[in-house]
């Protein structure tokens, strides 16, 4: 499990260490980790050249100390001081003693630039002098390593309202921050500096966490005890949504899937193991309902959604179901059974009254709290917020899942996990993890080079994705 911390939480955790350690020890500890990461980027340190672009805060001190350590290992080192009178005094003195040079601009022969302009207390875009420096660095094609976060990028949201640094690598200390999920950080390395941080309420699942959550049948299980997923999806116009959603539920677990809708014949022709009927009234007993993909928004569809939400069963609502729900939010408010909504940005805007802004965590939390349900906001970074404030982030790492019908597949997986008894936040987060891995596998099959994929291919790679985890 990876946890993400606010800037205030990191500062609070640093305070007792700063009080107990000799002056400067914590900074040098962080800078040594930074220098080690930079050395890994350089490959060979001796004979290479680095340039630190230094602001007036502690990040500037980290950058100067890291450049000092690299200089002591044989690298050439220079520094651009954006505010010379406020550069970290002790770090600058050590840098000069080691043979580091203070320069006006980044030398053309520089192999790597260290971004030490602003840290987690900074806000807003790069100021003109810093923006000019990094524009020249970008034009020269020199790679950048950012200290803690890319300067000009918001620590809490990853938003970049103006000029900002675009690093190849970001090295952060003590704990990850939301920017490392959302922001333009390149790769991220976390350096342990000894902070005592409790788990936070914003986290991301790793493969081991997903494996622990995923329902695996035991020797006494049968098709009913593993969960029966009910699917109301698709229509005469959009039978593919029913096929994708139902097929994903079949692939996700080893229980049973029942389909209710007008695409029953098409579903069975693709998935003969599914029990299909034309109406939810004759579907039989299920342990969860998936409602909405390709379903339409007419009165019949609305009645089916109301039927599902009036049961005491877990329900996931997607696509057309969300459109219906946005006009009648009262049908979900106050519901005690697990409920998951999976909007993209447009559907979110209809539900919330405005599109998600820069702070996707806060916006998703507000909607979850207002409706009393779990909300999965789709995107390259998927945000899963629960009414109690807990948030799961899923960083896809690529955009291959952004293809028509992909959400239908995700809905089917979530529905199957809900039927198996997985808690709604865990079900949504674990499904998003497996879904993004399946998208990546589908884009790279049959070789390592990625190529355009499709929802059908993502569906076909759900089981390989699960096998790689379980």
Q: Give the annotated binding-site residues for AMP.
A: 378-382, 407
Of 103, 42, 101, the closest CA to residue 73 belongs to 42
- Pair of tokens at residue 326: 């946005």
Going by the annotation, the residues of the binding site are 58-62, 115, 119-125, 148, 151, 241, 294, 344, 378-382, 407-408
Longest dimension (CA), the chain: 82
Going by the annotation, the residues of the binding site for K(+) are 59, 115, 151
**Is the backbone of residue 324 left (phi > 0), alpha (psi -120 to 50) or beta?**
alpha
């Amino acid at each position: 499990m990876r946890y993400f911390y606010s800037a205030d939480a990191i500062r609070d955790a640093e305070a007792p260490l700063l009080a107990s350690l000799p002056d400067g020890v914590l900074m040098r500890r962080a800078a040594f980790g930074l220098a080690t990461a930079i050395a890994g980027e350089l490959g060979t340190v001796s004979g290479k050249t680095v340039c630190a672009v230094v602001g007036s805060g502690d990040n500037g001190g980290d950058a100067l100390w890291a450049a000092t350590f690299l200089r002591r290992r044989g690298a050439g080192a220079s520094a651009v001081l954006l505010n010379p009178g406020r550069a970290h005094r002790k770090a600058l003195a050590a840098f000069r003693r080691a043979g580091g040079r203070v320069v006006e601009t980044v030398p053309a022969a520089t192999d790597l630039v260290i971004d030490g302009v602003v840290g987690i207390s900074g806000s807003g875009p790069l100021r003109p002098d810093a923006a000019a420096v990094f524009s020249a660095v970008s034009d020269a094609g020199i790679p950048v390593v950012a200290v803690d976060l890319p300067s000009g990028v918001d620590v809490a949201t990853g938003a970049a309202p103006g000029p900002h640094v675009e690093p190849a690598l970001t090295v952060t200390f003590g704990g990850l921050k939301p920017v490392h999920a959302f922001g333009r950080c390149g790769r991220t390395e976390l350096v342990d500096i000894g902070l005592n941080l409790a788990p936070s309420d914003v986290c991301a699942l790793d493969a081991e966490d997903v494996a622990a959550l995923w329902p695996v049948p035991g020797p006494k299980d049968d098709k009913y005890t593993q969960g029966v997923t009910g699917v109301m999806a698709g229509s005469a116009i959009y039978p593919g949504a029913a096929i994708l959603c139902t097929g994903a539920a079949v692939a996700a677990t080893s229980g049973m899937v029942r389909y209710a809708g007008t695409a029953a014949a098409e579903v069975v022709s693709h998935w003969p193991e599914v029990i299909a009927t034309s109406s939810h009234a004759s579907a039989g007993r299920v342990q969860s309902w998936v409602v909405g993909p390709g379903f339409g928004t007419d009165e019949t569809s609305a009645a089916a959604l109301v039927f599902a939400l009036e049961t005491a069963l877990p329900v996931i609502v997607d696509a057309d179901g969300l459109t219906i729900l946005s006009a009648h939010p009262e049908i979900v408010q106050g519901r005690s059974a697990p409920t998951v909504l999976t909007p993209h940005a447009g559907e979110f805007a209809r539900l919330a009254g405005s599109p998600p802004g820069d702070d996707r965590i806060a916006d998703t939390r507000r909607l979850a709290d207002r409706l009393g349900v779990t909300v999965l906001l789709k995107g390259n970074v998927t945000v899963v917020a629960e009414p109690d404030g807990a948030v799961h982030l899923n960083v896809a790492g690529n955009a291959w899942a952004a293809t028509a019908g992909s959400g239908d597949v995700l809905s089917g997986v979530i529905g199957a996990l809900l039927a198996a008894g997985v808690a709604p936040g865990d079900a949504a987060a674990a499904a998003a993890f497996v879904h993004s891995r399946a998208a990546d596998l589908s884009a790279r099959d049959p070789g390592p080079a990625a190529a355009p994929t499709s929802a059908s291919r993502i569906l076909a790679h759900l089981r390989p994705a699960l096998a790689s985890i379980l």
